[in-house]
Amino acid sequence: MAQLTFNIPKISCSHCVETITQALHPLVGVNQVSVDIPSKQLEVNYDKTRITIDRMREALAGINYPVASVQTESGEKRPDRRGAECSCCGA
């Protein structure tokens, strides 16, 4: 099992948490999802033989939560484009 942290600037409320959880949790290979609103971070425990980081990134972009960066277990940080406001309520 592997773990990574996504930085998602658009996370701002409990509805964001619910939307992200509902999008990722059913994906084959995703074992656990934990969203922290204040830090705007999403931690995912996953099986890297069953799902890729890019597939999770695509799922998040598909629900309008683009990933700013990803930090893997090894500490590698991969930047991505930045989002602005909350996807669900505009906050």
Tell me the CA distances in angstroms from 1 to 16, 58, 62, one per residue in order: 25, 20, 25
The type of residue at 9 is P
pLDDT at 22 over 90: yes
Beta carbons of 19 and 87 less than 8 angstroms apart = yes
pLDDT at 91 over 60: no
In the prediction, which pLDDT does 77 show?
Answer: 58
The predicted-structure confidence for 41-65, as pLDDT tens digits, reads as follows 999 999 999 999 999 999 999 999 9
CA–CA distance, 39 with 54 (Å, rounded to integer): 22
